[in-house]
Amino acid sequence: MKDGQKSNSSGIPDPRQKYQILVECAPDPIFLVNAVTQEIVEINEQGCEMLGYSEAELEGSDVLDLHPQKNSDEYRDLFSQIQKKQQLRTREL
């Protein structure tokens, strides 16, 4: 286990820390969005580079502002469906 990693009594790393490592080390842009508020809650370095903004500039902003205006209704509908079904589904738009 790397220095600074927390583990439980069985020696398994803390799931939150494992998640954080996955987000930070992923080669692709990752945006974590609150499906209810549509706010970006976390973004990795690759996402920031892709958009040309800092993490501080993007976190808390409305994810719909990042998509083409012509598709805004489609994205709004997708978030609405997620809220209604209370389940996360992956979909490429």
Q: Write the pLDDT tens digit of every residue in 34-52.
A: 877 889 999 999 999 999 9
Entry pTM: 0.65
Strands (DSSP E) along 1-93, which ranges?
31-33, 40-43
Q: Which of 68, 40, 64, 67 is nearest to 54 (CA)?
A: 40
Q: Which of 76, 3, 9, 88 is nearest to 37 (CA)?
A: 76
Q: Write the pLDDT tens digit of every residue in 60-86.
A: 999 888 888 888 888 888 878 877 775
